[in-house]
Structure 1
Amino acid sequence: MKTSTKATLVTVAVALVLVAAVAVTAFINRPAAPVAPENTAGALPATRENSHVLDDAGPDAPTLVEFLDFECEACGAFYPVIEQIREIYAGDINYVIRYFPLPGHFNSMNAALAAEAAAQQGQLEAMYKRLFETQTEWGELRESRADLFRSYAEDIGLDMAAYDAAVADPATQQRVEQDLNDGRYLDVTGTPTFFLDGERLELTQLTDLTDALDRATGRAAQ
């Protein structure tokens, strides 16, 4: 697909998201100071061995990493854009998600726990999609929606005893907080924040993301 066609697909959505992302970053509380990361040598990378890979194009392919909050409106607005990008660059890029639940969002940790519990059963993408596709139904509420997220787990066919055990297990929250802590060390303060091959992307123009992906995949020369 030509670059001009790609840009047409995402331009309007990206324009809306850029405005939303600036607003979200401006009012959220900065997360607490990070704890020194474990098991890293030298500079902290944007991914770890246990990072969740939704699209795997192989070790030689460029890797796009998104730090996200399932309750973040900007992330929700960006979700269909990312789905388009994943389709356009299918087979050419790795796409990795990392949790970054923001303290100003009441259910962001509950949502991340639901996603991580689903990941333990090999169903992360199904929960990832359900959380974003229903965000307007539960986002910005000041009461726990853990029961609603549990119903999503039932809908996608998870083993509910294992799901409940995972949500209750402190190790599940620790896994979420590992991503959160790594993000803080990488100076992530808002969501969505993207890294491409370890370099943070600053989305100041509409085609910044697709242009960077074109360069990384060699499509810019085509």
Structure 2
Amino acid sequence: MSFVSVFGVSVKNSVKAAIAAVALVIVLFVGALIYILVNQNNAASVAESGDGPQVMREGSHVLDDGGEGSVTVVEFLDFECEACGAFYPVVEDLREKYDGEITYVVRYFPLPGHFNSKNAAIAAEAAAQQNRFEDMYHRLFETQTQWGEAQESRAELFRSFAEEIGLDMAVFDESVADPATADRVELDLNEGERLGVSSTPTFFIDGEPVTLQKWDDLEKSIESAVNGDR
């Protein structure tokens, strides 16, 4: 075989390799461009549909409705969280003090480190389906020291609370077993995470997160909002 023929083959192979490389670059570029455009379109669709994370949604559990023009306070809570338990009486005092001036909303945020936090939230959601959310809310916090930090299920104890507050137990059991009830709890949890919630309790006032450094920071923030200073 002559040098020319060998050289010719070599040149042809180099050209083919170069063409293949250029083609690969073009494919990758087009793919990246399509990815960017699709994600931009998806982001635009979310923005237009208003389906981004919301501090309060239709169907969120409202403990107090202050009416039009009231300050909206939203708490993401975990029924097993000791800090939430410590804030519970503070929150109850504030609800009474600002009755008619605030709309108080509760959302679930069961932390993974608490064995029964999701069980408690499911019990509360099952009670909510019988319009008795607040009764279960009180019962869970008032008894937190009895079941908090347990490393085995306390679902039966929560069921006894449902009996004590007079729920239809057949309906309650069906609600607890229904995956849609757990999905409702997860909806709050997932949206809380998208809003930046990472611990409990986390409070929002009129859509803005509250920074808690002292016990009276929540009251000061509510008072400021009620007075129009926020």
* TM-score band w.r.t. shorter chain: 0.7 to 0.9
Distance 2:188 2:51 in 1: 17
SS of the equivalent of 2:204 reads strand
Alignment deviations for residues 39-91 of structure 1 (CA, whole Å, 9 cap, x no partner): 96165220100100000011321100000000000000110110001010011
1:123 and 1:202, CA in 2 relative to 1: closer, same or farther beyond 3 A?
same
1:116 aligns with 2:125: yes
User: Match of 2:55, SS?
Assistant: coil
Structure 1, unaligned runs of 5 or more: 1-35
Structure 2, unmatched stretches of 5+, are 1-42
- Range 204-213 or range 50-59, more displaced: 204-213
Q: Which one of the candidate residues 181, 186, 189 is aligned to 2:195?
A: 186
**How high is the TM-score relative to the length of structure 2?**
0.77
Q: Give 1:205 shift.
A: 3.3
Aligned residue in 1 for 2:21: none
1:45 equivalenced with 2:35 (yes/no)? no
Q: Does 2:93 correspond to 1:76?
A: no
Matches of 1:54 and 1:42 in 2, distance apart?
24
Which residue among 93, 99, 114 is the counterpart of 1:90? 99
1:156 aligns with 2:159: no
Amino acid at match of 2:190: N
Which one is further off, 199-208 or 55-64? 199-208
Identity value in percent: 62
C-alpha displacement of 1:132:
0.3
Stretches of 4+ aligned residues off by more than 4 angstroms: none
2:28 corresponds to: none
Deviation at 1:219, TM superposition (A): 7.8
TM-superposed CA distance for 1:142, in Å, is: 0.4
Residue matched to 1:133: 142
Q: For 2:203 and 2:157, how far apart are their aligned partners in 1?
A: 29
- SS for the counterpart of 1:79 is helix
Give the drift of 1:215. 1.7
Alpha-carbon distance between aligned partners in 2 of 1:43 and 1:208, rounded to the nearest angstrom: 28
Q: Decide which structure has the larger Cα Rg and report it.
A: 2
Structure having greater relative contact order (Cα 8 Å, sep ≥ 6)? 1
**Which secondary structure state, in structure 1, belongs to the residue aligned with residue 171 of structure 2?**
helix
Shift of 1:182: 0.5
* Residues 206/136 of structure 1: CA separation in 2 closer, same or farther (3 Å cut): closer
1:196 corresponding residue in structure 2: 205
Residue 54 of structure 1 is matched in structure 2 by 63
SS at match of 2:76: strand
Aligned length: 184
Alpha-carbon distance change, 136 to 159 in structure 1, aligned in 2, over 3 angstroms: same
Shift of 1:207: 2.8
Counterpart CA distance in 1 for 2:82 and 2:216 is 21
Deviation at 1:192, TM superposition (A): 0.2
Per-residue CA distance 1:3-48 (angstroms, 9 max, x = gap): xxxxxxxxxxxxxxxxxxxxxxxxxxxxxxxxx9x89616522010
